[in-house]
A and B are shown apart, each in its own frame.
Chain A
Amino acid sequence: MSNVNTTTFTIVVVLFIVVTGVGFGAARWRRASDMMHLDQWGLGGRGFGTFITWFLLGGDLYTAYTFIAVPALVFGSGSIGFFAVAYTIMVFPIALIFLPRLWSISRVHGYVTPADFIRGRYGSRGLALAAAFTGILALMPYIALQLVGIDAVLQVMGVGTTATNTFLKDLPLIIAFLVLAIFTYVSGLRAPATIAFIKDTLIYVFVLVAIFYIPTRLGGWSHIFGAAQTHFAAINPKTGKPNGTFVPSSGSIGSTRFDFASLALGSAVALFVYPHAITGTLAAKRRDTVKRNMVYLPTYSVLLALIALFGYMAVADPVTGANIKKAGGNAQLAVPYLFQHMFPSWFTGVAFAGIIIGALVPAAIMAIAAANLFTRNIFKEFFKPDATPRLQTQMSRWASLVVKIGALLFAIELPHTFSINLQLLGGVWILQLAPMLIGGLFTRWFHRWALLTGWFAGMIYGTIAAYNVKNATTSHWAGSSDIVFGRSIYIGLSAVILNLVIAVVLTLVLKAARVPEGADETLPHQYTADPDKTPAPVPAGVGLSAPD
């Protein structure tokens, strides 16, 4: 730990301790009479208003990994990285179409997970299992990537890099994650909801300061954009192609306008199908809370756009470029190195603490979402149908620990590129739930077996297609675009189109053959209900807790 900056390190440690205290204290916040209920531990009592939901969803969707990976992609490839900006714009109109319906139906029936809804809508345990399995599978690498985000910051801070022993090297990461695991176990969703306040305050402050200050050090925006434009137009001697694109064009494969748009659309549809995003949504108190957040959440998108621009600042700053080259060309280090070079050490500490804490919030919500999927749709469904709310909560708490330890092993034992590839696949996988989930919110037309077959085909096709992407330097997992009918398109989107076509065709066939459909426990008016306004009938035995 010879080259650790003491000021930076102290500030990070102090802020981390504050957050730990808040995380444990959160269990007392808005305390309910019976905490041993999944509505309490897993959904924070389903009572969050507009303001808290805004912080919670903001902390949930804009993860530390986003803050590291988006500028890294911009630094490495240029404008294609801005797909994340376009996607965080279009995600809100798209979500406004279906998310309030999901909230209403889940509130009326007491659904905790998206798979609960699929079970109720199609009367199919198999389809719900497919949804739960996909959700857990996609969340695991996502949690691991939060650790990769923390690791990038720790590496630039110089923590653990000089230790030769693997355990010592990863000790800070292990401590951070143990703390996270324990306060999630104790406080449930209340922990990330309170920590999100601190995290977002830190991040808003450092991003706003950085976006005004750094350009003054680098000769203004015209120089930053100019340097980026020159850099990405230059020919890379290794590949014989340009370094990247400055705006999406029709030329280079993997960075075309069609890639850009399909990647943005696919990610936008996937975002609110991810179980952790749904967990954050279902914790909202009112239907209007969900709707209003679609108006307020784009504030975070502005933040993301500014963070993406850090990638170009890193291109324009020769010192950052040299540091990254010294660290083996790892683009993930672009933002940490940029801050370290540009800011006094105390402010770097604030920024780094923001990123590290920013990893804890989504990681906690993801672990809760994965744990709830396991408890509700695997454990209760297949092993213990008569599980009491208390047993379910206990099960979820333990499952959240297991999920996080799994993610920790993932991040420590496997190369980081493996986690990144898996997360890329996670996006492709989770999109395969869109037909059954979003489709199911609007129509009961699809047949359950048709949806299951479409899902299976999409999963297989997406996985193989992603594995086979190659470029000049790597033979597999080289990107997220696939060439279909002469067009370069995001694999998730081509896979979900295949999925949808199969679901439609098979539904027609199965309906013609009069194969029995499952029972639908939902009623049309429940999709627009807000039980706090007009109490809707609650079917017996689904365990709706009285809010507040």
Chain B
Amino acid sequence: MTEPTSRSRSMIAAHPITSATIAVLVAADIFFSLYAPIYSRVTPKVGDFPFFYFYLLIFMPITSLVLWLAIRLQKRLEPPAQAPEAEREAVG
């Protein structure tokens, strides 16, 4: 049904743990912002902020961090010939 490229399919097969980690990171990021019953409550308050509002605010830097990690891991899946250039790009 889906048609990942033959290259990326082999890369996923070559790095099963990295690929699974990326999938879990992205899926968890979506789930924990989507599943409102986890955070839709007033208590515990953090400072003056009811939990609902605190959770939404703190989730934003977490999203950035999680996606940053996912993208770093994706670079490992790229063919080795391109890796050095990708590194330079990330710095520059």
Residues in A with CB closer than 8 Å to B49 are 221, 225
Q: A528 contacts B5, CB within 8 Å?
A: yes
Q: B67 contacts A89, CB within 8 Å?
A: no
B14 beta carbon closer than 8 Å to chain A:
no
Of A173-181, A287-295, A366-374, the segment with at least 4 beta carbons within 8 Å of chain B is A287-295
A79 beta carbon closer than 8 Å to chain B:
yes
Cα(A534)–Cα(B81), bound, Å: 11
Interface 1/0 per residue, A238-254 and B, CB below 8 Å: 00000000111100000
Q: Distance (Å) between the CB of A507 and the closest chain B CB?
A: 11
- Residue of B with least CB distance to A79: B52
Interface 1/0 per residue, A244-267 and B, CB below 8 Å: 001111000000011011001100
- Residue of A with least CB distance to B81: A534
B13 beta carbon closer than 8 Å to chain A:
no
Q: Distance (Å) between the CB of B91 and the closest chain A CB?
A: 12
Interface 1/0 per residue, A455-488 and B, CB below 8 Å: 0000000000000000000000000000000000
Interface 1/0 per residue, B39-70 and A, CB below 8 Å: 01110000111101100110111011011101
Interface 1/0 per residue, A517-528 and B, CB below 8 Å: 000000011011
Residues in A with CB closer than 8 Å to B60 are 89, 298-299, 301-302, 305
Of A29-37, A393-401, A438-446, the segment with at least 4 beta carbons within 8 Å of chain B is A438-446
Q: B56 contacts A527, CB within 8 Å?
A: no
- Residue of B with least CB distance to A530: B82
Partner of A527, one of B5, B48, B50, B74: B5
Q: B34 contacts A225, CB within 8 Å?
A: no
Kindly identify, within residues 505 to 548 of chain A, every residue whose CB is under 8 Å from any CB belonging to chain B. 524-525, 527-528, 533-534
Q: Distance (Å) between the CB of B66 and the closest chain A CB?
A: 7
Q: A295 contacts B64, CB within 8 Å?
A: yes
A85 beta carbon closer than 8 Å to chain B:
yes
Residues in B with CB closer than 8 Å to A248 are 36, 40, 52
Cα(A257)–Cα(B37), bound, Å: 7
- Residue of B with least CB distance to A526: B5
Cα(A46)–Cα(B53), bound, Å: 38
Assuming A90-B34, A94-B30, A528-B8, is B50 touching A247 (CB within 8 A)? yes
A296 beta carbon closer than 8 Å to chain B:
yes
Q: B2 contacts A220, CB within 8 Å?
A: no
Partner of A298, one of B36, B63, B71: B63
Q: B36 contacts A257, CB within 8 Å?
A: yes
Assuming A221-B47, A295-B71, is B36 touching A89 (CB within 8 A)? no
Partner of B82, one of A79, A246, A249, A533: A533
Q: B5 contacts A288, CB within 8 Å?
A: no
Interface 1/0 per residue, A71-82 and B, CB below 8 Å: 000000001001
Interface 1/0 per residue, B3-36 and A, CB below 8 Å: 1111110000000000000000011011001111
Residues in A with CB closer than 8 Å to B7 are 525, 528
Kindly identify, within residues 83 to 132 of chain A, every residue whose CB is under 8 Å from any CB belonging to chain B. 85-86, 89-90, 92-94, 96-97
Cα(A302)–Cα(B63), bound, Å: 11
Cα(A79)–Cα(B41), bound, Å: 11
Assuming A295-B67, A309-B53, is B40 touching A260 (CB within 8 A)? yes
A5 beta carbon closer than 8 Å to chain B:
no
Q: B56 contacts A90, CB within 8 Å?
A: no
A2 beta carbon closer than 8 Å to chain B:
no
- Residue of B with least CB distance to A527: B5
Partner of A246, one of B6, B42, B61, B64: B42
Q: A96 contacts B52, CB within 8 Å?
A: no
Q: B48 contacts A89, CB within 8 Å?
A: no
Cα(A257)–Cα(B35), bound, Å: 9
A276 beta carbon closer than 8 Å to chain B:
no
- Residue of B with least CB distance to A224: B48
Cα(A298)–Cα(B56), bound, Å: 12
- Residue of B with least CB distance to A89: B33
- Residue of A with least CB distance to B59: A89
Cα(A323)–Cα(B77), bound, Å: 58
Cα(A445)–Cα(B89), bound, Å: 35
Q: Distance (Å) between the CB of B3 and the closest chain A CB?
A: 5
- Residue of B with least CB distance to A301: B60
Q: B63 contacts A93, CB within 8 Å?
A: yes
In the A-B complex, the 9 residue pairs with the smallest Cβ-Cβ separation, listed nearest first, are: A221-B48, A222-B48, A257-B36, A93-B29, A247-B52, A89-B33, A90-B33, A525-B5, A524-B5
Chain B interface (Cβ < 8 Å from any Cβ of A): 1-8, 26-27, 29-30, 33-37, 40-42, 47-50, 52-53, 56-57, 59-61, 63-64, 66-68, 70-71, 74, 82, 85-86, 89-90
A-B contact pairs, 20 of them (CB 8 A): A86-B34, A89-B60, A93-B27, A93-B63, A246-B42, A261-B34, A288-B86, A292-B71, A294-B67, A296-B64, A298-B61, A298-B63, A305-B56, A309-B53, A443-B1, A443-B3, A445-B1, A525-B5, A533-B82, A534-B82
Chain A interface (Cβ < 8 Å from any Cβ of B): 79, 82, 85-86, 89-90, 92-94, 96-97, 220-222, 225, 229, 246-249, 257-258, 260-261, 264-265, 286, 288, 291-292, 294-296, 298-299, 301-302, 305, 309, 442-445, 524-525, 527-528, 533-534
Q: Kindly list 20 other residue pairs between chains A and B, CB separation below 8 angstroms, not including A222-B48, A298-B64, A524-B4.
A: A86-B36, A90-B29, A90-B30, A93-B29, A220-B48, A221-B48, A225-B48, A247-B40, A248-B52, A249-B40, A261-B34, A294-B67, A305-B56, A305-B57, A305-B60, A309-B53, A443-B2, A443-B3, A445-B1, A525-B7
